[in-house]
Each structure stands twice: as structure tokens, then as C-alpha cells.
Homo-oligomer: A and B are copies of this chain.
Amino acid sequence: MPRPSPAETRERLLRAAAAEIRLHGYAGASLSSIAARLGMTKGSLAYHFPSKRDVALALFTSMEHTHGELRTGVADDGLRGIRALLTLLARTTSRGRTDPVFTAGTSLIVMSGALPFEVPRVFDDLITAYAASLDEARIDGEIASDTDVGQAAEDILASMIGSWIVRARTPDRPDTPPLRLAHAVLHSIGVADSEDVLRDLTDRGLAPWLEAGEHLRAQTTP
């Protein structure tokens, strides 16, 4: 069996940390329990993560890296404006459902009021990225010309975070169309057909997980 690469080892450690934080919260997670989950001694784990804070920072770094990859992917696909924004939102949601490390990093940002250190400005960066696409949309006439793209971008992010948390905390409610609240924001700035745009875009490969009836809760419970 080939020796795992450093990147593979790191990913394995981050997955164990994500699972531990998901079960016990950041305060309740311990390096010992993460090591036990991996069949490692705490000493071997300490070679990679000397402290719990290092675990959190590694989760943040990984999450920021994923956000960067998702943005690059949308640009590489030649998308701009509303199409770029909706594709980015759809891929981010998809990633949140399938990647526990990404989800753990996001949960830590949401719950970071209690963390004993400064968290990175991920939300500011996301708002900036969404605002850039909305600015293209403004230039291209896809949204009202007097739209405050910064405020609209903040609303888009709030729509993603709010929907995620409310759905995680109301497991018995019926499933809802993907990005419904984000569509409401886009409607309010003049995009009448954002559902149709998303439907067209999802023909490129996102359709399966955007189907109604799919359950995101297990993955997204903060």
C-alpha cells in the first residue's frame, strides 16, 4: 500500500476534526478525541496540529481555499453577472452538502462569537465576490442600474446562511426549491427570471442535487 501523501494525511485529519466538532462543538472537541478517531496517539497528531486553535485555523484555510476554487471555476467557465453568481451559489450549496470539512469551517464562522481568537474575514470576502458579479450584472443591464451592489451582496450571503440554519433546525418541514431566498433578493433588484436562469445552468451538471426532495439536513446541521 503506498504511503499517503502529506495532502492526503492532512485531509484525513481535517475530516476527523470536522466530525468531532460537528458532534461536540469546538469547545467540546479535544485533540485526544480527534487522535482517537484516527487511531493515532495525541503525540503524532500534535506533529500536524500542536493545538486546537491550529485545527480551527486549518479548517478556515481549507474553507477559504475551497471558496477560491469555486470562484476560479466559475470564471474559467466564462460566466459573468447573474449567471456567474447563481452558478457560484449553486456550487457552494452543493459543496456544503458533500464536504464535511467545508461545512465545519462555515459552522465555525457562524458560531465564532465564542471562539477564543479572531476568525478570518470570510464573510467580507464572500460579499466582495458576490458584489463583483452583481456589478457586472449592473453594467450588463441585468439588474436595476441604481442597485447598491454591496447591500444586495450582503443580502445574498444572509439568504444563504439563514436558509441553511433554518432548514437545519426545522427537520420536519417540507423541502423547498434551491436558493429560493436568494431568488427573492434577485427579484427585488430586477431579475424577474432567476429561477429559469438557474434551471438552464443546472443542465450543465448540478441538476441531480438540486432536485426537490433531496435532504441537506444531515450534512448541514450546524
Residues of A bordering B, CB below 8 Å: 21-28, 107, 109-115, 119, 121, 123-124, 127, 150-151, 154-155, 157-163, 165-170, 172-174, 176, 180-181, 183-185, 187-188, 221-222
Q: Is the CB of B173 within 8 A of A183?
A: no
- Main secondary structure, interface of A, reads helix
Q: How far is the CA of A187 from the CA of B107 in the complex (A)?
A: 30
Q: How far is the CA of A28 from the CA of B52 in the complex (A)?
A: 14
Q: Which residues of B contact A168 (CB under 8 A)?
A: 113
Q: List 19 A-B contacts (CB under 8 A).
A: A24-B27, A25-B26, A26-B27, A28-B114, A110-B111, A111-B222, A112-B222, A113-B221, A119-B169, A121-B170, A123-B166, A154-B167, A154-B170, A155-B180, A158-B162, A159-B181, A161-B166, A181-B181, A181-B185
Seed contacts A158-B159, A161-B162; 7 additional CB < 8 Å A-B pairs: A22-B114, A25-B26, A109-B169, A111-B111, A124-B170, A159-B159, A184-B187
Chain B's nearest CB lies how many Å from the CB of A68? 19
Q: A107-B113, A173-B127 are in contact. Are A180 and B162 (CB under 8 A)?
A: no
Q: How far is the CA of A170 from the CA of B119 in the complex (A)?
A: 11
Q: Is the CB of A180 within 8 A of B159?
A: no
Chain B's nearest CB lies how many Å from the CB of A116? 8
* Chain B residue nearest in CB terms to A169: B123
Chain B's nearest CB lies how many Å from the CB of A45? 21
Chain B's nearest CB lies how many Å from the CB of A219? 12
Which 3 residue pairs are nearest across A and B when measured between Cβ atoms?
A162-B162, A25-B114, A27-B27
* Chain B residue nearest in CB terms to A187: B188
Chain B's nearest CB lies how many Å from the CB of A63? 14
